[in-house]
A and B are shown apart, each in its own frame.
Chain A
Amino acid sequence: MIFLTVGTLFPFDRLVRAIDEAFDKGLIDEELFAQIGESSYKPRNFESVASLAKGLFDERLKQASGVIGHAGVGTIAIAIDNNKPLLVMPRLRKHNEHVNDHQVAIARKFSELGHILVADDVEDLPDGIRRLKNFVPKERIAAPSTVADRIRRFLNSLRD
């Protein structure tokens, strides 16, 4: 199963529609389930819900062989934490999909580092979908505990 998620904050019809059309073109032969948030486009080829409670979201994610999503940090983080192959298409300001183009920058950086795949636009999706099947994400070494420890030490210094 492929899990499609576009976050729950703003619509992302461009991606939901493109994935629906990918089914029409025979580019996806797997079952797909989607969390489409505020998107108004209703897909014909797969089951979708507006939003999933955290437990249900995690369940779908764990079942998925691959994830397709917007390039939100939450989506990227959860795919990496669960070692799931992820293909992202960044939301663009010019289509009113976000307030700025920060998703382009983070998508590019993480794909350069080998952690995710990126399709800059709808035209790049077919190639991305093909590559997603065999994509093995490069392991990411993050340091949340080092960063948290820095803050903890600062907080403790205030108590002395």
Chain B
Amino acid sequence: MVRSAENLRICLVASAGGHTTQLLKLADSWSGHETFCITTTEVVKVKLQKYGKVYTVGECNREHPLRVIRVATKCISVITRERPDVVISTGAAVGCITCFWGWLSGAKVVWLDSITNVDRISLSGRMVRYIADVFLVQWPELAKKYSNVEYLGAVI
């Protein structure tokens, strides 16, 4: 899946709001690679545009299972079409869905759990932890509490 000696194709995925703010703090990490984005609302499209094509899939959370299915279908179709080598996400539900589908399609997974998760990792993060190649948290206490998570500092 990974194209060696070439630029990687990277899917950047974050819900609107703070998740997107935190994703953009990581911009230095993917420069030089080919990127595209998945987000939840049109409002943030403009912030992500410089990192390639932006797919807007709609908001969803666990309380609206039907909406989750609709959004998941869109994420799956984007991933199937774009076939990224890596998925980088800062959450939330849309990030989780995309990470799992990307992983099933052979992509590597990088997750940065949102800084709002002070005492425990987010529900999405707790699931993605099992498939992530790199899993980063933003509070040192969380790295002590969970295995296979790294704390290197906060992005905000």
Which of B5, B29, B41, B154 is the one whose CB lies under 8 Å from A151?
B29
Is the CB of A122 closer than 8 A to any CB of chain B?
Answer: no
Give residues of chain B (113-156) contacting chain A, Cβ–Cβ below 8 Å: 114-119, 133-134, 136, 139, 150, 152-156
- Complex partner residue of A73 from B22, B33, B139, B152, CB under 8 angstroms: B22
Do A148 and B86 contact each other (CB < 8 Å), given the known contacts A154-B133, A158-B2?
Answer: no
Which of B21, B22, B85 meets A158, CB within 8 Å? B85
Which one of A8, A77, A151, A159 contacts B4 once the chains associate, using CB atoms below 8 Å?
A159
Kindly list chain A residues whose C-beta atoms are within 8 Å of the C-beta of B116: 73, 102-103, 105-106
The count of residues in chain B whose C-beta lies closer than 8 Å to any C-beta of chain A is 48
For chain B residues 4-33, which have a beta carbon within 8 Å of chain A?
A: 4-6, 8, 10, 16-22, 25-30, 33
Contact of A77 among B5, B150, B156 (CB under 8 A): B156
Q: Does A74 contact B (CB under 8 A)?
A: yes
The residue in chain A whose Cβ has the minimal distance to the Cβ of B40 is A9
Across-interface contacts of A150 in B (CB, < 8 A): 29, 134, 136, 150, 152
| Residue A143 is within 8 A (CB to CB) of chain B in the complex | yes
Interface string of B97-127 (1 = CB under 8 A from A): 0000000000010101011111100000000
Tell me which residues across on chain A come within 8 A of B86, comparing CB atoms.
155, 158
Counting residue pairs across A and B whose Cβ atoms lie within 8 Å, the total is 119
Q: Is A109 an interface residue (CB 8 A)?
A: yes
Q: Is residue B94 contacting chain A, with contact meaning CB distance below 8 A?
A: no
In the assembled complex, how far is the CB of residue A39 from the closest CB belonging to chain B, in whole angstroms? 15
**17 sample A-B contacts, Cβ–Cβ < 8 Å, listed by A number:** A73-B22, A80-B156, A102-B114, A102-B117, A108-B118, A109-B139, A143-B155, A144-B25, A147-B152, A150-B136, A151-B26, A151-B29, A155-B10, A155-B29, A155-B33, A159-B6, A160-B4
Contacts beyond the supplied A73-B19, A73-B114: 7 A-B pairs with Cβ under 8 Å: A7-B17, A54-B47, A74-B17, A142-B154, A142-B155, A148-B29, A151-B88
